[in-house]
Amino acid sequence: MLSKSDDPTYLRFASRCLLLIVLMPFSAVAQPTKPTIVYGLIRPKEGANIYLMDADGGNERQLTHNDSSGQPAWSPDGTRIVFSSRENDQQFLAIMDCQGNFIEKIETPGAFRPTLPAWSPDGTQIAFVAVTHADGKGASDIFVLDLLTGAVRNLTHQEGMDLTPSWSPDGQWIVFASNRDAKFWLPDPGARLGFSATSDIYIMAVDGNSIRNVTQTLGDEAHPSLSPDGTEIVFTRPHGTLWSENQLYVIDVDGGNERRLTNFKGSPAIRSPSWSPDGQQLLFSATGIAVL
């Protein structure tokens, strides 16, 4: 857990093997009665499933039991969880309540193998990643599903990999990671084309327009998440070479004031940072042994 303080690099770290972690604030309406984390976890015997635990790390409980579910995200009111799952070799998005009761499978016409869902702040839309070919091949794009009408819109229509959408608090902007621009690929003599297709962090309007590269580096930036006040983006990037330890960074949405938050040693696989509702802490997943 990363806590903002007078020293922005202050860190309390616990290594867990998690797929995605999202913190839910307290509310009295049909949801957990204390701050709760929803996350995906792969265990050797149970496979990939979704769990809840209290924000202090206790009281873990398993919500799914189908061995193929992950990438959960809370609805803004805390009553539902959207997640990705797989059945009969078909990948799809689904919604359940916070007790694990299945509510519905989500149809995403024209968007195949949907993954990485993110609920809009008003709860009416879900952004996600998918491909446009039924065989699962080709570039991945950012889509938005209207939960009221069932309409699905492709926002990016771009060659390359567009991943991990995150909404602004006002629902007007989406940040994501993409390797769309070869100008920012990292030279790599060992690669087939002489480059590694590294990603940058982008921001776009919710209609898919006004796309802007926020980071503009040769580093491999990934897993962006907008702060609750909409002014900062946290993301991951290897520090040094492409194969260096992944670290957490924060940058202003205008691309200025970038700073590194962590200094892990030992090549931990850090991913999926998520802000606490008050913007004072960061929760993230990590595997391996890390030393500050």
What whole-number distance in Å separates Cα of residue 86 and Cα of residue 272? Answer: 21
Tens digits of residue pLDDT in 62-121: 999 988 999 999 999 999 999 999 988 899 999 999 889 998 999 999 999 999 999 999
What whole-number distance in Å separates Cα of residue 130 and Cα of residue 154? Answer: 9
182 phi and psi angles, rounded to 5 deg: -65, -20
Statement: residue 143 has pLDDT above 60 = yes
- From residue 159, give the alpha-carbon distance in Å to each of 140, 178, 218: 8, 10, 18
CA distance between the termini of the chain: 13
Say which residue, 56 or 26, is predicted with more confidence. Answer: 56
Q: Which residues contact 196 (CB under 8 A, 6 or more apart)?
A: 185, 186, 188, 220, 242
Label residue 276 exposed, middle or buried (CB < 10 Å: 0-12, 13-18, 19+).
buried
CB atoms within 10 A of CB 43: 12
What whole-number distance in Å separates Cα of residue 74 and Cα of residue 27? Answer: 13
What whole-number distance in Å separates Cα of residue 85 and Cα of residue 276? Answer: 25
What's the pLDDT score for residue 218?
Answer: 86
- Token pair for residue 179? 């390797």
- Token pair for residue 34? 């204390």
Total-model pTM = 0.84
